Chain A
Amino acid sequence: MIEVRNLKKAFRGNTILDGVSFRVESGESVVIIGRSGGGKSVLLKHLIALLMPDAGQVLIDGEDLCCLNERQLLRVRRKFGMLFQGAALFDSLTVAENVAFALNRERKMSAQDVRRKVGEVLEMVELSGTEEKKPSELSGGMRKRVGLARAIIYQPQIVLYDEPTTGLDPVVSDSIDQLILRVRDALKVTTVVVTHDMRSARRLGQRIMMLHDKRIYVTGTPDEIFGSADPVVHRFVNGISVPKEHYF
């Protein structure tokens, strides 16, 4: 279970998050939507302690991440898998080495078992046969699939997705969405997705939270959010700019 209490974060005096609080239950699938530059990725990075809050708490299964040092955090992070916006694959390693990274570091499995496991997850993300390729040889969609395979190979309890469909064409975006759903259902993981792709948000979220004005502005089911009469929510989910944003 993830719980965020009154989280505040500023960079060089510029407040990004100002009193964000929410809770994600185990096995739940939550989508966080909001404007570009609104702090969604910053919020997501707080959940796995890649960033530390200026004030407030982030609790994972009741354990406050703010009280832990970097080595103690490694233990908590074993519960997580994360797919980065740009996939963040290690460009000096092959696809197989990227995917097997966590298992190889743990040194608990034999090389043969690791190879078999890599084959299984690559098959799950429909990338069998790419084991020996380097990340630079892959397309954007393929890189995200490899990033996802790397994040789920050690069967984490929670998977975080940072803009999983950004920069991809609609067909590839759809396949990534399907993959996220398949991972969620097959591995029964808690899923937190940050996106401003409304189609993905509707499809992936059992619950949607909208980050607006540095706080969680509204929370609801996809039907509630997409049917909302609130002008801020309505304008965002339907992609309508306010008059002052018509520059030309």
Chain B
Amino acid sequence: MFSFAQRFAAEWLEGLGKLSILAKEAIGSLFAMRLSFKDFLYQLYFIGVKSQSVVVVTGAFTGMVLCAQTYFQFHKVKMDDATLAVVSVSMCSELGPVLTALMVTARVGAAMAAEIGTMKVTEQIDALRTLATHPVDYLVVPRLLASLISLPLLTAESVIIGIVAGYLVGVFLLGIDPAYAYYNMRRYTADVDLAIGLIKSFIFGGLLALIGCYKGMTCGEGAEGVGRATTEAVVYASISILICNFFLTLTLTELLKYL
């Protein structure tokens, strides 16, 4: 049991170390402008544009159910008018960035791991190296940059859709007074809440892209290796996002409270 735990910890630390090296290499490459603009645009389209339907649906239904559930509880203590304030703050700082990142991870992180993993098992990554191209420059940097840019934009979209959907459900379905609901929502939602959400989404974008690419580049042999890399990319990225979210909430709230 002890040796198993020791091996698990060693493997986990090794993975974390390699991921850090990949991040350092990618960031160095990004600043050295070794990026292909065409590849970056394609990734921006794939990650940013093609993820919109998933993000819009997730944002809308999360806002709607959050509004309904909050109303059911608040109604008991005659606080109906505060419902949309809860929806707004939750969507901006927690649910918007986290759920957007999780949905994009499921869609894009898995695709990154599968695509790069397949390239590895079919020797395409070796071919890149023989053509004097660093795999990080060609494969990781465009995905990382596109993800860093896309995630805050997708999160903003998800937050807006979620709040609007919550407002519509609250006002037209549950009968909340629109003037008070809007007033309270504006009153209790600070700029800091939105800033926290956007900063989080930027960090989550980096995490999901790096983990997806890392899992692809280190995947095992054959179809089984690619399948495992894909699964691990989604699982590890999702867990990392959820764990990071807790610490980011504490840190960012403390850091930004003076703004």
Contacts and interface: CB of A to CB of B under 8 A. Distances in A.
6 contacts: A73-B129, A82-B130, A84-B127, A101-B133, A102-B132, A102-B133
Contacts of B126: 45, 50, 84, 88
Contact of A91 (B36, B124, B130): B124
A161 interface: no
Interface residues of A, number: 25
B5 interface: no
B1 interface: no
Contacts of B122: 86, 88, 91
Contacts of A90: 119, 124, 127
Interface string B111-138: 0000000010011101101111110001
Contacts of A81: 130
A74 B135 CA distance: 11
Interface string B131-170: 1111000100000000000000000000000000000000
Interface of A: 45, 48, 50, 70-71, 73-75, 77-78, 80-82, 84-86, 88-91, 101-102, 105, 150-151
A77 B134 contact: no
Given A86-B122, A91-B124, A80 B130 contact: yes
Nearest to B118: A91
Contacts of A101: 131, 133
Given A90-B124, A91-B124, A150 B131 contact: yes
A50 B129 CA distance: 8
Contacts of B36: 105
A80 B127 CA distance: 11
B118 to A, nearest CB: 8
